[in-house]
Chain A
Amino acid sequence: MHWLDWTVMIGTLSGIVMYGVLKTRRINNVKDYLLGERDLKWWTIGLSVMATQASAITFLSTPGQGFDSGMEFAQFYIGLPIAMVILCVFVLPLYYRLNVYTAYEYLEGRFNRKVRTLTAILFLVQRGLAAGITIYAPAIILSTIMDWSLGWTVLIIGMVVIFYTVLGGSKAVSVTQKQQMIVILAGMVVAAIVVVNQLPGDMGLNDALHLAGETGKLEVLDLNFDLSDRYNIWSGILAGVFLFLSYFGTDQSQVQRYLSGKSLTESRLGLLFNGLIKVPMQLLVLFVGVMVYVFYMFAAPPIHFNEANLQDLRRSATYTDSLSVYELAYEEVMTERIDISRALVDATREDDELESNRLGSQIKLLDSTARYYRAEVDTLMLNQARSEGRSIKVEDRDYVFIGFVMSEFPIGWGLIGLLLAVIFSAAMSSSSSELNALATTTVIDLYKRSHRKERSDRHYLNASKAFTIGWGVLALCFAAFASLFDNLIQAVNIVGSLFYGVILGIFVVAFFFKQIGSRAVLLAALIVEPFVILIYFLNYYEKITFEYLWLNPLGCLITVLVALGINEVVRD
């Protein structure tokens, strides 16, 4: 990497960390440490909420989704603005009125301590697991692409995050997230411009859009209702609203962001800002991926984007011949696709709709042939790994964008450094709020509530810092096992979906079913959580077809129904 890229990357990241540390050096009591002095304006809250959700996985995996499946992934976020409005109407005023540190505190007032503790533990388990993946995801990809040590990459990201989160608490998280989100948004705009600029000389944005359109990559909305289809408008609106209500309304890593607001008004504006900006931001990130696809219509993409996997295969005496056969066949398909793509550009320029459609269909056909060869190479890799007794991740979607950045971005302009800063910023921003929320929930809902009551403010401040370090170390340990998962962005969402439905169910009962008591809701949660996990595994082993996004409404609705049923039999 060029020295200017190193300078931009290290300068940006260390500048943000120093800023966070300097802004929070006067914090010396537990309330300010956990609630960030409650002086944040709406734009800081909005950017902080966005940065918490947008992890490095978002910026590595999402362009890969755009490259592979086009813009349809944007439908996943359709439910988000609706969830933001519902939260602003019902949830925020309640949290502010009760003056809580965590979302789970409210549950003790409404039910009892057991329900609060159970919900807090459900949160700690799922967010603790996700925190490991949040650090591991960018580390594995960056270490492979940059030829860095995975262990050191995980350790450096983890240690930097622990450093400023422990020192400055919630406010350090929010103020650094504001800067990190500005770097991220600027970086993605720059990436979109550079990708379009890297297209062949005579090609403009208009041509690129025509090519993407003819090959179906611009399709955003799928109106078909299908439970087995992961992304369509119905899963986005129905399942998505449940997921986002649960995530933003009951996940402490988000609740803590907007509880740091100066007032209810600032917090509301922050969430609404997120509701307005999130969908276009995702469209932009997916668009970058689609433009990478268009770029590779004129330059054959590698048969597999994770170069390390390919090199392993080339070293093997058993598999290298089969790889060469597939590579040759793949190259022929790509050469034909380049010719057809050029013809398609001419056809669209001449407004020849019939010819454009015909050529577009031909490209789609060639893409499915190429996908077949890519899958065959994946099989070779799996067989090789099995024969050598090691595990391997053959899914290479997460490597598409960073691979493109490293091989095609202009060298010596600092742009590669900027994009790497984007990925590190995203990793650090989501990890820091996770650690902060995990520590807060542990201190407020478990430690202070059940174990060490009535201690000094200094004691709880030190305990909060100690738990932040503890969760950070635990996240680093989880990162060591994260290689068991196939697709990283989905792994985070799946872990969330397993628990969010039941947690949201508990909160829905608390908010809207005043007749249901604590015993009924506690039993319902204990019954439904294993049931949700069972449904996930039945789908995983292909016994039933039930996409994970639907686990959110399922868990929520069944928790409410079971609680209603139990309440008829068992009263408090």
Chain B
Amino acid sequence: MQTNQGEETTPDDQPPILGRWSRLYTLVILGNVLWLGLAYLFTRIYA
């Protein structure tokens, strides 16, 4: 990739979009999958 100065950069030089927060973001999404999974399991057990 070219910078304004015309230097070559590697993907590693780019600021990470998710960065060190990626684990927490994943936890939030997976947490919700877990909530809904539990609710669905409840539905099946008591249906």
What residues of chain A have their CB less than 8 Å away from a CB belonging to chain B? 71, 74, 78, 81-82, 84-85, 88-89, 209-210, 212-214, 216, 218-221, 268-269, 272, 275-276, 279-280, 283
Contact = CB atoms under 8 A, between A and B. Distances in A.
B39 A272 contact: no
B21 to A, nearest CB: 7
Nearest to A84: B28
Given A276-B31, A283-B35, A218 B18 contact: no
A220 to B, nearest CB: 4
B32 A81 contact: yes
A88 B21 contact: yes
Contact of B28 (A210, A214, A272): A272
A213 B42 CA distance: 8
Interface of B: 17-18, 21, 24-25, 27-29, 31-32, 35-36, 39-40, 42-43, 45-47
A221 B38 CA distance: 11
B29 A81 contact: yes
Contacts of A74: 36, 39
A79 to B, nearest CB: 10
A85 B29 contact: yes
Contacts of B24: 269, 272
Contacts of B29: 81-82, 85
B18 A220 contact: no
11 contacts: A74-B39, A78-B36, A81-B28, A88-B25, A213-B43, A219-B47, A220-B43, A221-B40, A268-B21, A272-B28, A283-B35
Given A82-B29, A276-B28, A218 B43 contact: yes
B46 A218 contact: yes
B46 A71 contact: no
A280 B28 CA distance: 12
Contacts of B25: 85, 88-89, 272
Contacts of B27: 276
B28 A209 contact: no
A269 B27 CA distance: 12
Contact of B32 (A210, A212, A221, A279): A279
Given A272-B25, A275-B28, A276-B31, A89 B18 contact: yes
Contacts of A272: 24-25, 28
Contacts of A78: 32, 36
